[in-house]
């Protein structure tokens, strides 16, 4: 399959491009490089022996998307990763988040549907679920726009609603909504990984920066939650498992609308993740308990059973695999792609 990956030079897109190449498909990247580097195409070539084309431009611009089809089409499918994704920033910049995260979808669909794509895979998020009574979240769990705490998550749910209506009048097309839980980890080569700009907001890259000595200590945001060790529970998923989930979704795509949770279903606490990282590094890391972070849920984790049943996909990598791969990437690239 020939597949256009919008936002494909980012963290998850890069790993998905590698998984697609390994499965015999032909990915093409379209990215404005606002949150990544074109170095990733060198790294993908080093890993796979294939240089994937990269079109640099805005996926919200119909002309840019047209130019990708002209130069490298026709495409069988589009995977839409392109988005702004920082939850805290989305509260301060809602206009930018709604505009970018929705306009990209509209441009990709306007052009993609006119050019005959058969499948559209969308990067959604487990944060579309918000009611703790629904844990572990199945695909049918409550999704209520007004209960979501930030514009980023709302923009993802708004995309899901728009995509559902658009698929309904294009019944020959497959639309797959992939709800990722907490993607972490790096490719086994240590050549590609997560490279957040500035001080990381997310736990795993923050711990990695402390481990490499770039930050002084880990803050544990609350240890008085109603969880086994009092710290927050999350469903961390290795990015390589996640990437393989995209390949399965594309290969199994049928006309119609489908949604899948991509997670492990095994919740890990903040302390559990830090202990796993300490095993990878071989010594304790400096840490202290801080107040809870506003807007955090005590626990989010999914039931990944539908993806296993319908896509034949299941995450296989453990939390120790995830932390070891991040440590490998962080040591080899202490300054990310810039180093
Ligand atoms: P990322 O920032 O590494 O990748 C997104 C890519 O999109 C970046 O390379 C960025 O340069 C590009 N981009 C943004 N706006 C663009 C535009 N208008 N035109 C072209 N390119 C544009 O993020 P990621 O972690 O790889 O996330 C990929 C997708 O998965 C996003 O849609 C994100 O919302 C979603 N998601 C991520 C997580 C996570 O924790 N990483 C969790 C759930 C969902
Ligand atoms: N967390 C933490 N310290 C940090 C960053 C995050 O204790 O520096 C906690 C956070 O409160 C949550 C978990 O780690 O319980 C995962 O947070 P992250 O931001 O990685 O993911 P999200 O909350 O978006 O699921």
pTM of the entire structure?
0.98
Dist CA 230 CA 223 (whole Å) = 4
29 lines ligand 1 (CB under 6 A): no
β-pair type (54-56, 174-180): unpaired
Which residues are known to be catalytic? 152
CA of 179 to the centre of ligand 1 (A): 13
pLDDT (0 to 100) of residue 338? 87
β-pair type (233-234, 268-269): antiparallel
Nearest CA to ligand 2 atom 16: 203
232 lines ligand 2 (CB under 6 A): yes
H-state helical runs in the chain: 11-22, 39-48, 62-72, 87-92, 94-114, 151-168, 203-211, 239-251, 270-281, 305-311, 319-332
Dist CA 231 CA 292 (whole Å) = 9
202 lines ligand 2 (CB under 6 A): yes
221 lines ligand 2 (CB under 6 A): yes
32 lines ligand 1 (CB under 6 A): yes
Q: What is the DSSP string of 264-301?
A: -S--EEHHHHHHHHHHHHTS---EEEEPPPTT--SEE-
Phi, psi dihedrals of residue 223, rounded to the nearest 5°: -130, 25
Helix 239-251 to helix 11-22 angle, to the nearest 10 degrees? 60
pLDDT (0 to 100) of residue 74? 97
CA of 337 to the centre of ligand 2 (A): 24
Q: Which residues contact 31 (CB under 8 A, 6 or more apart)?
A: 6, 7, 8, 9, 10, 13, 54, 55, 56, 59, 82
Sequential pLDDT tens for the chain (339 residues)? 999 999 999 999 999 999 999 999 999 999 999 999 999 999 999 999 999 999 999 999 999 999 999 999 999 999 999 999 999 999 999 999 999 999 999 999 999 999 999 999 999 999 999 899 999 999 999 999 999 999 999 999 999 999 999 999 999 999 999 999 999 999 999 999 999 989 999 999 999 999 999 999 999 999 999 999 999 999 999 999 999 999 999 999 999 999 999 999 999 999 999 999 999 999 999 999 999 999 899 999 999 999 999 999 999 999 999 999 999 999 999 989 986
Give 3-state DSSP helix, strand, coil % of the chain, rounded to 5: 45, 20, 40
Ligand 2 nearest atom to the CA of residue 181, by list position: 25
Ligand number nearest CA of 300 is: 2
């Amino acid at each position: 399959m020939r597949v256009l990956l919008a936002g494909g030079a980012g963290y998850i897109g890069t790993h998905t491009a590698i998984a697609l190449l390994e499965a015999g498909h032909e990915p093409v990247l379209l990215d404005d490089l606002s949150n990544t580097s074109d170095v990733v195409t060198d790294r993908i070539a080093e890993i796979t022996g294939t240089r994937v084309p990269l079109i640099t431009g805005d996926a919200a611009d119909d002309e840019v998307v047209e130019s990708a089809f002209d130069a490298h089409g026709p495409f069988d499918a589009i995977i839409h990763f392109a988005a702004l994704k920082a939850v805290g920033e989305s509260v301060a910049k809602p206009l930018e988040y709604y505009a970018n995260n929705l306009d990209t979808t509209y441009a990709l669909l306007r052009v993609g549907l006119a050019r005959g794509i058969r499948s559209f895979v969308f990067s959604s998020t487990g944060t579309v679920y918000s009611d703790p009574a629904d844990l572990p979240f199945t695909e049918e769990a409550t999704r209520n726009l007004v209960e979501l705490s930030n514009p980023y998550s709302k923009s993802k749910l708004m995309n899901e609603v728009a995509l559902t209506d658009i698929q309904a009048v294009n019944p020959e097309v497959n639309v797959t909504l992939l709800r990722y839980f907490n993607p972490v980890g790096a490719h086994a080569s240590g050549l590609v990984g997560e490279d957040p700009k500035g001080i990381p907001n997310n736990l795993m890259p923050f711990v990695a920066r402390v481990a490499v000595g770039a930050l002084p200590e880990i803050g544990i945001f609350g240890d008085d939650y109603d969880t086994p060790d009092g710290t927050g529970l999350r469903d961390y998923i290795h990015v390589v498992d996640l990437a393989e989930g995209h390949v399965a979704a594309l290969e199994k795509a049928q006309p119609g609308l489908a949604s899948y949770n991509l997670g492990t279903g095994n919740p890990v606490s903040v302390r559990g993740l830090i202990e796993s990282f300490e095993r990878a590094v071989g010594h304790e890391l400096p840490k202290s308990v801080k107040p809870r972070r506003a807007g955090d849920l005590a626990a989010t984790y999914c039931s990944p059973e539908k993806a296993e049943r319908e896509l034949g996909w299941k995450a296989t990598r453990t939390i120790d695999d995830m932390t070891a791969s991040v440590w490998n990437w962080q040591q080899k690239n202490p300054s990310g792609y810039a180093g």
